Amino acid sequence: MAHTLPQLPYAYDALEPYIDAKTMEIHHSKHHQTYTDKFNTALEKHPELFEKTPQDLLKDLSQLPEDIRQAVVNHGGGYINHNLFWEILRPGQEDNAPQGALLEAINKSFTSFEAFKTAFTTEASTKFGSGWTWLCVAHTNEATKPKKLVILSTSNQDSPLSQGLTPIMTIDVWEHAYYLKHQNRRPEYIENFWKVANWAKAEELLKQA
Ligand SMILES: [Fe+2]
């Protein structure tokens, strides 16, 4: 079964004024569609791989056939990274902040939400070129509670799953994510991202990790 472009869980204009409708439409219906199509094209050379989840394919790159390995990293990564991105956005609110188990884990790993926000913003602002900044669960051998969280960036469409990390929050810092509204002003886009970050979804992903 070929992978399909997921429906957004909200309308293209639902994240206004923080993320504009035109950017959402192009990003979802053009960019994400292209990653989806090219991911499927790569897998058609080894159709048995359609039976695995894209996440499982990206968790162990060494098991991928060499002739499609980079295509799966690029387009399979682009496919699942955007799937996650749409899910961890939601219509904005000014006093948007994490709660519960997620807040506890953030406080434990970064001392406070403000310190986390500063560190994540710095990471996303200074990521050179195209890529993603992530909040991930770092798996350790012992069952640490609350779970240890880390901030990192990846280039292109590389997934943290390939590094053994489980992403629970992310921002797309490719220019296609913000150029129509913010042009070259990535910090302004990141500031708006905080208003539409879906902390409830991130907390759900933390619990599953
Ligand atoms: Fe993107």
pLDDT tens for 12-54 read 999 999 999 999 999 999 999 999 999 999 999 999 999 999 9
- Quote the percentage of the chain above a pLDDT of 70: 97
Give the homologous superfamily in CATH for domain 21-87: Fe,Mn superoxide dismutase (SOD) domain (1.10.287.990)
CA of 144 to the centre of ligand 1 (A): 33
Asked whether residue 139 carries a pLDDT value surpassing 90, the answer given is no
Q: Where in the chain is the domain with CATH 3.55.40.20?
A: 100-208
Q: Running DSSP on this structure, what letter comes out for residue 57?
A: H
What is the predicted pLDDT for the residue at 1? Answer: 86
CA of 14 to the centre of ligand 1 (A): 18
Asked whether residue 141 carries a pLDDT value surpassing 70, the answer given is no
CA of 108 to the centre of ligand 1 (A): 30
What is the predicted pLDDT for the residue at 95? Answer: 83
From CA 131, how far away is CA 9, in angstroms rounded?
23
pLDDT in tens, 53-82: 999 999 999 999 999 999 999 999 999 999
CA distances (Å), origin 168, targets 45, 50, 152, 159, 209: 31, 24, 12, 12, 8
CA of 27 to the centre of ligand 1 (A): 6
What is the predicted pLDDT for the residue at 35? Answer: 98
CA of 59 to the centre of ligand 1 (A): 20
From CA 39, how far away is CA 42, in angstroms rounded?
5
pLDDT in tens, 183-204: 989 999 999 999 999 999 999 9
DSSP 107-132: HHHHSSHHHHHHHHHHHHHH--SSEE
Topology of the domain comprising 100-208: minor pseudopilin epsh fold (3.55.40)
CA of 162 to the centre of ligand 1 (A): 19
- Angle at alpha carbon of residue 131, lines to 41 and 75, rounded to 5°: 5
CA of 29 to the centre of ligand 1 (A): 11
Q: Where in the chain is the domain with CATH 1.10.287.990?
A: 21-87
Which residues neighbour 14 within 8 Å (Cβ) at sequence distance 6 or greater? 90, 91
Burial of 140: CB neighbours in 10 Å, binned 0-12, 13-18, 19+: exposed
CA of 175 to the centre of ligand 1 (A): 8
What is the predicted pLDDT for the residue at 191? Answer: 96
- Read off the tokens for 123: 């990471």
pLDDT band, residue 142 (cuts 50/70/90): low
Does pTM surpass 0.85? yes
Asked whether residue 144 carries a pLDDT value surpassing 90, the answer given is no
What is the predicted pLDDT for the residue at 146? Answer: 67
Q: Running DSSP on this structure, what letter comes out for residue 62?
A: G
CA of 38 to the centre of ligand 1 (A): 15
CA of 184 to the centre of ligand 1 (A): 15
CA of 70 to the centre of ligand 1 (A): 18
What is the predicted pLDDT for the residue at 61? Answer: 97
